[in-house]
Chains A and B, each alone.
Chain A
Amino acid sequence: MRKMSKLRLGVCLTVVALLYFGAWYAEKSMGANLGQAGFMLVGAYVYAVFTIPLKKHAAVYQYYNGGIIQFELPLIVALLLAGIVAALLAALIGLPVLRLKSDYLAIATLGFAEIIRAVVQWDSLGPITNGSNLLKTYPTFNNTKIFGTTVLFPFIVSGVCIALILLIINSTYGRAFKAIRDDEVAAEAMGVNLFHHKELSFVISCFFAGIGGALLAMFQGTVQANSFKSAMTYDVLLMVVIGGMGSVSGSVIASFLYIACSEWWLRFLDNPLTIGSFNVPLLRSGFRMVVFSAVIMVVVLFFRRGIMGDKELWNIGMRRQKAGRRARK
């Protein structure tokens, strides 16, 4: 039982990380989106609000007379709805914001994330969002069973999402996104409608961010708007860059390593340790995060292209082939 919980921890974290990645890929075509956390928040809240069992409403919405949403949706519907609501919101926000350029765009998205957070915490929305208080008792990874086991569900959802992402990447749209990323002006000259594609990639990425947020909610067991700060967006950015900017598998590997390192493998650094009679120095609460962030800096500075660069795991054997092709050019 206890061993299982550790395994499940690893599994859950991977899955959440996978979706973090998914949220990211499409938006690379539009420049940095620093509003990730805001859309994850929307996803998490939509999922949680619609799946809290009716008989628990009175206890959860303890200050709002049980809330005004007096029905619950099936889990899968709520999960999809989380993505859809986040995507709709993105479409709305995208209309004005996507006309901005590079850093101004980044800051505007960051601003929207903060606004979303403030609105969700607004007391007048309390009957729906429970104000700024915790939401809990909705179905989580711990009690969602497929074929009698709780282990499968996260894998299946993330598998479906990754398959979708790969399909998008390899479609006409995916190639247009890549073209915009590499050279906006050239892409426009080739007849790619810039705004249309940016809007689309923003919406797609926010759809996945919404689902990612819902899965994060499932993993944590509780949601609170307060924890969706810009730091969460930064975490996503770090994962993707460490994995390699152009690589799906790289991002997946990096996000697993990232979360496993920070939350699991390095935990021992937080506790004083005595080997024989030797007291290992420096070890106390907080040291884990120092080491972890130092490791990140090393990776960022010395492995500029990330773990995988722009290669995919399944393409590693093809390196020579590509090099040959390049030589012929």
Chain B
Amino acid sequence: MKKLIALLLVLMMVLPVAAMADDLPVVKIGVFEPSSGDNGAGGKQEVLGVEYANFVKPTVTVGGTEYKVELVNVDNQSDSAKAVTAAQELVSAGVAVVLGSYGSGCSMAGGDVFAAAEVPAIGLSCTNPSVTTLCDYYWRICFLDPFQGSVMANFANSLGAKKAYVLTMLGEDYGNGLGHYFTEAFEALGGEVIPETFPEGTSDFTPYINNAINKGADVVFAPCATTYASLIIDQAASLNVSFPLLAGDTWESSVILDAAKGKNVNVYVSTFFDENDEAGAAKEFVTGFKAWLNANADKKTNNGGNDIVAAVSALGFDGYNVALAALEAAGSIEPAAIAEALPALVYADAVTGSISFDEIGDANKDMAYVKKANTETGAFDFVKTQSVAGL
């Protein structure tokens, strides 16, 4: 018996090798995203954008040779400790460039691995400033938290709020960062902030919401993962709160819409993209992406079961195209060459607005969209755009 089990164990450890035959040479692009854990739902939507872009442009011509683009997906499980090994896995797979991750903490943790291997990484929706300031091999195509925080602070101010309750998760870099910049901006506008944090794995948010009520908050700002967001919305509704709930880009998700549907709550989010954008590239992307989702049942399931275009999908689409543009500009599929080509790259056809990088590696972007969850139709209604100049 024991010998048999030992034999089985050995057999399980022997790796089967899958051989792949294809005519074109292959260039690999790593997709460093969570598909499970707290940010799993959002990570999946971001991957969908990348996959759709790959579907539209499956090949790239670099230095006169046509390459087939192969996506290498790893799941970083929304966990900054697991992200390190996931990043190692991508590096070992020999990717030319990395896209991701949803959730700044994972990007910050993976950044060191990419830097050590000298593989460039393009952040899609990670908004914490440290992602690029602490890593020379990270670029990013979205706006940053200091901007997003002041957008929401101004928005809260425009709703007439004087006192804001800021709720973030302990140990989540994204939420803590955004909460910090919101606080700075809101206090600069003469408002008062009551900050509180909840530990990971919290289910019972009623004491927090009661605290907000008792301390007379006019608005709640709660940038956190969607897993907690749905609990917060649900419990806020059952406590009959009168103040609106505000959050950052993570809340722009069908999870939020489902949680808010049919309840008496006001939820506002800021985000990168509006699916009703009439600009040529954006419109073409939205139509094509919807058709693609509707044609693939499992892709649609990954999108939350509907064909609403999330901003992170648009960023995924842009990120892939930026990566291809970088490959073309570098004229090589060597990571080092791509890293050299990225700083000077300008990609004007992006659906979320033209992309170029500053000296730190951040995109020169200055536009955010504020949306409100419609509790009747279960969709996001466009409220306003906000640019840096308007702040």
- A and B from one assembly? yes
| Contacts A132-B171, A133-B176, A134-B108; A59 near B130 (Cβ below 8 A) | yes
- B170-188 Cβ-contact flags toward A at 8 Å (1 or 0): 1111001100100000000
A145 at the B interface (CB under 8 A): no
Q: Is the CB of B130 within 8 A of A121?
A: no
Q: Which residue of B lies closest to A291 (CB)?
A: B12
**Residues in chain B near residue A275, CB distance under 8 A:** 16, 18
Q: Which residue of B lies closest to A118 (CB)?
A: B199
- Interface residue from B18, B85, B108 paired with A263 (Cβ < 8 Å): B85
A175 CB to closest chain B CB, in angstroms? 32
Q: Which residue of A lies closest to B105 (CB)?
A: A134
| Contacts A5-B91, A221-B112; A227 near B79 (Cβ below 8 A) | yes
- Interface residue from A136, A266, A295, A303 paired with B2 (Cβ < 8 Å): A303
What separation, in Å, do the CA atoms of A273 and B18 have in the docked complex?
7
Q: Is the CB of A56 within 8 A of B134?
A: yes
Q: For chain A, which range describes its interface: under 10, 10 to 19, 20 to 34, or 35 or more residues?
A: 35 or more
Q: Is the CB of A286 within 8 A of B36?
A: yes
**Residues in chain A near residue B73, CB distance under 8 A:** 271
**Residues in chain B near residue A227, CB distance under 8 A:** 79-81
A290 at the B interface (CB under 8 A): no
Interface residue count on the B side (C-beta < 8 Å): 46
Q: Is the CB of A285 within 8 A of B15?
A: no
A279 CB to closest chain B CB, in angstroms? 11
A155 at the B interface (CB under 8 A): no
Q: Is the CB of A274 within 8 A of B13?
A: no
What separation, in Å, do the CA atoms of A63 and B182 have in the docked complex?
12
**Residues in chain A near residue B200, CB distance under 8 A:** 226
Q: Is the CB of A267 within 8 A of B89?
A: yes
**Residues in chain B near residue A225, CB distance under 8 A:** 171
B113 at the A interface (CB under 8 A): yes
A261 at the B interface (CB under 8 A): yes
B306 at the A interface (CB under 8 A): no
- B196-208 Cβ-contact flags toward A at 8 Å (1 or 0): 0101100000000
Q: Is the CB of B173 within 8 A of A134?
A: yes
**Residues in chain B near residue A133, CB distance under 8 A:** 171, 173, 176-177
**Residues in chain B near residue A220, CB distance under 8 A:** 81, 84, 109
Q: Which residue of A lies closest to B170 (CB)?
A: A132
Q: Is the CB of A1 within 8 A of B117?
A: yes
- B77-106 Cβ-contact flags toward A at 8 Å (1 or 0): 001110011001101101000000000010
B5 at the A interface (CB under 8 A): yes
Q: Which residue of A lies closest to B116 (CB)?
A: A142
What separation, in Å, do the CA atoms of A286 and B34 have in the docked complex?
12
What separation, in Å, do the CA atoms of A62 and B117 have in the docked complex?
26
**Residues in chain B near residue A222, CB distance under 8 A:** 80, 84, 108-109, 112
Of B2, B15, B80, B177, the most chain A CB neighbours within 10 A belong to B80
A-B contact count (CB 8 A): 117
What separation, in Å, do the CA atoms of A123 and B89 have in the docked complex?
34
Q: Is the CB of B130 within 8 A of A221?
A: no
- B42-83 Cβ-contact flags toward A at 8 Å (1 or 0): 000000000000000000000000000000010100011100
Q: Is the CB of A134 within 8 A of B197?
A: no
Q: Which residue of B lies closest to A3 (CB)?
A: B92
Q: Which residue of B lies closest to A229 (CB)?
A: B200
- A115-156 Cβ-contact flags toward B at 8 Å (1 or 0): 000100101000000011110110010110000000000000
Q: Is the CB of A62 within 8 A of B130?
A: yes
Q: Is the interface of B mostly helix, strand, loop or mixed?
A: helix
Q: Is the CB of B112 within 8 A of A136?
A: yes
A270 at the B interface (CB under 8 A): yes
**Residues in chain B near residue A274, CB distance under 8 A:** 18
**Residues in chain B near residue A9, CB distance under 8 A:** 85, 88, 92
A71 at the B interface (CB under 8 A): no
B7 at the A interface (CB under 8 A): no
Q: Is the CB of A132 within 8 A of B176?
A: yes
B9 at the A interface (CB under 8 A): yes
| Contacts A261-B13, A273-B16, A295-B9; A136 near B85 (Cβ below 8 A) | no
What separation, in Å, do the CA atoms of A219 and B111 have in the docked complex?
13
Give chain A interface residues in 89-131, CB to chain B under 8 Å: 118, 121, 123, 131
B35 at the A interface (CB under 8 A): yes
**Residues in chain A near residue B84, CB distance under 8 A:** 219-222
A60 at the B interface (CB under 8 A): yes
Q: Which residue of A lies closest to B14 (CB)?
A: A265
**Residues in chain B near residue A221, CB distance under 8 A:** 84, 109, 112-113, 116
**Residues in chain B near residue A136, CB distance under 8 A:** 108-109, 111-112, 134
Give chain A interface residues in 273-329, CB to chain B under 8 Å: 273-275, 285-286, 291, 295, 298, 302-303
B123 at the A interface (CB under 8 A): no
**Residues in chain B near residue A196, CB distance under 8 A:** none
B133 at the A interface (CB under 8 A): yes
What separation, in Å, do the CA atoms of A227 and B91 have in the docked complex?
23
- B119-135 Cβ-contact flags toward A at 8 Å (1 or 0): 00000000001100110
**Residues in chain B near residue A285, CB distance under 8 A:** 35-36, 75
Q: Which residue of B lies closest to A280 (CB)?
A: B16
What separation, in Å, do the CA atoms of A121 and B9 have in the docked complex?
41
**Residues in chain B near residue A121, CB distance under 8 A:** 170-171
**Residues in chain A near residue B13, CB distance under 8 A:** 261, 265-266
B1 at the A interface (CB under 8 A): yes
Q: Which residue of A lies closest to B200 (CB)?
A: A226
A91 CB to closest chain B CB, in angstroms? 28
What separation, in Å, do the CA atoms of A295 and B112 have in the docked complex?
32
- Interface residue from B5, B79, B117, B170 paired with A298 (Cβ < 8 Å): B5
19 residue pairs from A and B, CB less than 8 Å apart = A2-B94, A59-B133, A131-B176, A136-B109, A142-B112, A143-B116, A221-B112, A221-B116, A222-B80, A222-B84, A222-B108, A224-B109, A226-B171, A261-B13, A266-B12, A273-B16, A285-B75, A298-B9, A302-B2
Binding site for A on B (CB under 8 A): 1-2, 5, 9, 12-13, 15-16, 18, 35-36, 73, 75, 79-81, 84-85, 88-89, 91-92, 94, 105, 108-109, 111-113, 116-117, 129-130, 133-134, 170-173, 176-177, 180, 195, 197, 199-200
Additional 20 contacts, C-beta under 8 A, given A5-B116, A137-B134, A298-B5: A1-B117, A2-B91, A2-B92, A59-B133, A62-B130, A63-B176, A132-B171, A134-B105, A134-B108, A136-B111, A140-B112, A142-B112, A221-B113, A224-B81, A224-B105, A226-B172, A265-B13, A266-B13, A268-B15, A270-B75
